[in-house]
Chain A
């Protein structure tokens, strides 16, 4: 049973380019969370999605960041016009969505470097 998959594992972008990060949840999981880990810091919640729905995006920067989780395919975190401050590790986690008893299982992360 494959775990949460994220790709790419490492992504290098120049300032002003777009970054697209992909997350495939565990089999049977229909809920996805995205977190960001800045260097030497803990993870910070960004957005929570179910299939075709954004449930909570209270942790997302207001500009340049967007997320989606289509009916088919992986969840995508998109960062437009990247800046150096976007350099971080981005983790996604998936759950079955059944509620408080869920444990979030994390992917290996995508490390974004903005030059």
Chain B
């Protein structure tokens, strides 16, 4: 079975602090994709990153960075020098290569990040 676990329900930090959001996944597939999406208070889903299972290089995009560790089945997301505008719910998701051909996403329950001024 496929599963995504985001154990942190809610995190509060003070502006300019660094924060890491954890994501642990389960899948039996050898080919899969991992994603992070941001859901600001307005409610839409904003795509942040996609990572495939064969690429374990860490990625950095501005203040955002992602750490993919196959050995621990984790795909953690770090925001450096957080800002109030980072306040949102962040979702980690998994998609694999199923025999059915349906690349549905399996979402975690999300982590609500509150950045306080």
Contact = CB atoms under 8 A, between A and B. Distances in A.
Interface of A: 33, 35, 41-45, 48, 55-56, 58-59, 89, 91, 93, 95, 99-100, 102-109, 111
Contact of A106 (B6, B44, B108): B44
Interface residues on B, range: 20 to 34
B31 interface: yes
A56 B47 contact: no
B100 A105 contact: no
Nearest to A102: B103
B104 A103 contact: no
Interface of B: 4, 6, 31, 33, 35, 37, 42-45, 47, 50, 91, 93, 95, 97, 100-110
A111 B42 CA distance: 11
A110 to B, nearest CB: 10
A63 B94 CA distance: 28
Nearest to B45: A106
B102 A56 contact: yes
Contact of B35 (A55, A99, A103, A108): A103
Contacts of A48: 102, 104
Contacts of A107: 44
Given A33-B104, A106-B37, A100 B31 contact: yes
B109 A59 contact: no
Q: Which of A33, A99, A104: most chain B Cβ within 10 A?
A: A104
A44 B47 CA distance: 17
Contacts of A95: 103
Contacts of A55: 101-102
A14 B94 CA distance: 35
A100 B33 contact: yes
Contact of B105 (A41, A99, A104, A108): A104
Nearest to A46: B104
Nearest to B44: A108
25 contacts: A41-B109, A42-B4, A42-B110, A43-B45, A43-B93, A43-B105, A44-B107, A56-B100, A56-B104, A59-B104, A89-B43, A91-B45, A100-B31, A100-B33, A100-B103, A102-B103, A103-B47, A103-B50, A104-B103, A105-B47, A106-B47, A108-B43, A109-B43, A109-B44, A111-B43
